[in-house]
Chain A
């Protein structure tokens, strides 16, 4: 931990909330499979999302109830997003994007409950999600276009002399995609929660004037809810953009 402030009057350790604790240690020798708080909240997010959809769609009717229309508008929102950006060919991959969106949204919103753990604030989780998207999309591109998928990196409408330079830039930007895709989600969630913790430290330090940072926390919390939803949306729509490149080659 870099920011250690044990002797000052401001006792803030904003990174403490991201510590992973082993709840049930399971060590297989070659791999550490302990059941951690991160795993627990990931399972909880999946469980809550599944429960929501099972509950709302269990006795479905033509005229939807309130719960059913929530689930249906959720479904339609993501389906329209996939259809608008990838066309009819993209609908085949809609379940994958819907699952990604709901998992990230569930983890982000669950992290907003006080004293819970935000699963998506860890780069290990987001890098795994982004790498799975990257590998899936690249595989789809090669399956649909064969070796011709490499033409994605060779801009035909540019002047001939510029093409090799642009090709290098295209290749670099293609391989940077999973980096920015994953770090964006993780950094946004981590930074937001750290800001809340820092402002929380100000409340104790300022005594009666702590009312001012409390007012700020209320605003920042509202902003964090917005960020939680927007980041899930951005992750899903960028997946659609990458999928579009693989399906239609620009």
Chain B
């Protein structure tokens, strides 16, 4: 065994921070699923909205990225 209680806290914290990515996954799935259900109802209007789709996905993903960032900071910067 090596390391100390501080290291343990770092690793546990990094693992806990990754739970936030699940929220981002739900958000991205919600955006894409709603886009698909809307696109199947009105396929003619779908093509113009793909840019909006990607912007929505990018914004939903941003918060998951912050949790990834927290995990990285805990592992490498503390």
Among the listed A179, A184, A238, which residue makes an inter-chain contact with B55, where contact means beta carbons less than 8 Å apart?
A238
**Given A2-B75, A234-B58, A238-B58: A180 and B51 interface contact (C-beta under 8 Å):** no
Find residues 153-197 in chain A having any chain B CB closer than 8 Å to their own CB.
179-180, 183-184, 187, 191
A95 to B51, CA, bound (A): 20
A179: B residues at CB distance < 8 A: 66
**Interface residue range, chain A:** 10 to 19
**Given A2-B76, A180-B66, A187-B68: A81 and B58 interface contact (C-beta under 8 Å):** no
Report the nearest B residue to A241, measured CB to CB.
B55
Are B51 and A237 closer than 8 Å at their CB atoms? yes
Among the listed A180, A238, A241, which residue makes an inter-chain contact with B65, where contact means beta carbons less than 8 Å apart?
A180
**Secondary structure class of chain B's binding surface, majority of residues:** helix
Among the listed A84, A180, A237, which residue makes an inter-chain contact with B54, where contact means beta carbons less than 8 Å apart?
A237
A238: B residues at CB distance < 8 A: 55, 58
A234 to B61, CA, bound (A): 11
Q: Report if B12 contacts A (CB, 8 A).
A: no
Among the listed B51, B58, B76, which residue makes an inter-chain contact with A184, where contact means beta carbons less than 8 Å apart?
B58
Find residues 30-61 in chain B having any chain A CB closer than 8 Å to their own CB.
51, 54-55, 57-58, 61
A230 to B51, CA, bound (A): 11
Counting chain A CB atoms within 10 Å of each CB, the highest count among B11, B55, B58 belongs to B58
Q: Report if B26 contacts A (CB, 8 A).
A: no
A184 to B57, CA, bound (A): 11
A241 to B55, CA, bound (A): 9
Report the minimum CB–CB distance from B41 to chain A (whole Å): 23
